[in-house]
């Protein structure tokens, strides 16, 4: 499932530090993304929380200079650089970790330092995951449990339509229909989440 990019208009709105509603929408999407990226790169929970706050303080201080004509894709690229640098700084500040980690810790730091593309990919993946989770939490209650189960099992968990039809005692067509209905509704909600800043 593919999702559209964050609309540049949300990025324009968060340039106004007094626009709390836009900041809340922005943070709802991006805070979990940065946090999970930090965890994926080896930070502990509390360090990842601190790093996330640090990244968004940097964003708040620099967003006024952001050129909104560059679009959200460029923003996520910039955010990935800010996150990568914050992760590097956090890991370098832990001298005892580098001693215990030895060569593998040094290689991890080197990998992060040279891996901006990897961080950008991770940010994009986490962003898509967060948008999906937000949309799913909004629409799940709109469907019967069996309809949601058909979607969850076939699309999210990758189970075969045949297996899910047998689990639910439904026809293959019913499972395909259920899954399509949920996917269509998710796309609508994702579109609203992405465009809510218009």
- For the stretch 10-20, pLDDT in tens is 777 777 778 88
**7 and 63 part of one domain:** yes
Q: What is the pLDDT of residues 66-89, one digit of tens each?
A: 665 655 557 777 777 788 778 877
Predicted local distance difference test score (pLDDT) of residue 69: 61
3-state DSSP assignment of residue 197: coil
The pair of structure tokens assigned to 126 is 């986490």
**127 and 149 part of one domain:** no
User: What residue numbers bound the domain in which 186 lies?
Assistant: 143-198
Low-confidence spans in the chain with pLDDT less than 50: 1-5, 96-107, 109-110, 112-114, 197-198
**2 and 22 part of one domain:** yes
**134 and 150 part of one domain:** no
Please state the pTM of the whole predicted model: 0.55
Question: 32 exposed, middle or buried (CB, 10 Å; 0-12, 13-18, 19+)?
Answer: middle
Buried b (16+ CB within 10 A) or exposed e, 160-190: ebeebbeebebeeebbbebbebbeebbeebb
| Number of structural domains the chain divides into | 2
């Amino acid at each position: 499932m593919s999702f559209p990019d964050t609309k540049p208009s949300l990025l324009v709105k968060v340039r106004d530090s007094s626009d709390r509603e836009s900041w809340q929408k922005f943070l709802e999407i991006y805070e979990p993304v940065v946090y999970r990226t930090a965890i994926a790169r080896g930070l502990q929970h509390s360090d990842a929380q601190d790093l996330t706050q640090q990244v968004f303080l940097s964003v708040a201080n620099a967003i006024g200079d952001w050129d909104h004509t560059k679009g959200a894709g460029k923003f996520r690229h910039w955010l990935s650089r800010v996150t990568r640098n914050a992760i590097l700084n956090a890991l370098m500040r832990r001298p005892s970790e580098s001693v215990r980690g030895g060569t593998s810790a040094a290689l991890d730091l080197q990998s992060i330092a040279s891996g901006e593309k990897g961080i950008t990919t991770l940010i994009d993946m986490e962003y898509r995951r967060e948008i999906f989770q937000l949309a799913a939490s909004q629409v799940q209650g709109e469907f019967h449990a069996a309809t949601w189960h058909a979607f969850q099992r076939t699309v999210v968990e990758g189970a075969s339509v045949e297996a899910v039809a047998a689990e639910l005692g439904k026809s293959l067509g019913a499972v395909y229909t259920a899954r399509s209905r949920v996917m269509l509704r998710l796309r609508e909600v994702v579109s609203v989440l992405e465009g809510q800043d218009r």
